[in-house]
Amino acid sequence: MAHITAGVEYGLHCLLWLANSPEVPLSSRDLAEFQGISPSFLAKVFPKLEKAGIVSASEGIKGGYLLARQPGDITVLEVVDAIEGRKPLFDCQEIRGRCAVYRERPPSWATKGVCAIHAVMLRAEKAMRDSLANQTLADIAGVLDRKAPPEFSEDVRRWLADRANGRARGPAATEGM
């Protein structure tokens, strides 16, 4: 089981598009359709981002979400913690206290202090959290900008704007009419 779930991945992708469209609120429904996922899935992610102060919601027919802060002020760690909650990478079971050699009661040397395995995991978690805290949404957006051709961002903006204006494109727009 992954420590960081798909919710974080989809949340970060959504935040990238919000960063790319700083003055136009985007609906979670349109962002879900854009990524090919269930709108109800993102409907669970965005309130967490809003509660953490990462996005702000605007209501109404043209409502949606905007970034609440500049992309350079939003760390990946904040997004992970907002969506996943702050949970440990490793849950030590204190197995060392149940050694069969010491059925009655393990000696204090065996259980004193932090378990050596737990200590390794705590260091790994700290390194991971430090790394995520040093990466911002702006950093990720910069990589995307360097990697994707310039017209990609414009195509995405146009697609999202068409959705916001009620002019969906393609076969999905005409189904059920």
CATH number of the CATH domain containing 66 = 1.10.10.10
Residue 131, domain member (yes or no):
no
Residue 79, domain member (yes or no):
yes
Instruction: Kindly give the residue spans of alpha helices, DSSP state H, lying in the chain.
Output: 6-20, 28-35, 39-51, 76-84, 108-111, 116-133, 137-147, 150-164, 171-174
Low-confidence ranges of the chain (pLDDT < 50): 1, 169-177
Residue 80, domain member (yes or no):
yes
- Alpha-carbon distance of 160 to 13, in angstroms, equals 14
CA dihedral (138, 139, 140, 143) in degrees, to 10, reads 120
> What local confidence, expressed as pLDDT, does residue 2 receive?
58
Residue 154, domain member (yes or no):
yes
Q: In 3-state terms, what secondary structure has residue 163?
A: helix
Domain interval for residue 80: 6-87+136-171
Residue 117, domain member (yes or no):
no
Q: How many structural domains are present in the chain?
A: 1
> Whole-model pTM above 0.95?
no
* Residues near 117 by beta carbon (within 8 Å), at least 6 away in sequence: 92
Residues facing residue 57 across a β-bridge? 65
Residue 60, domain member (yes or no):
yes
> What local confidence, expressed as pLDDT, does residue 103 receive?
74
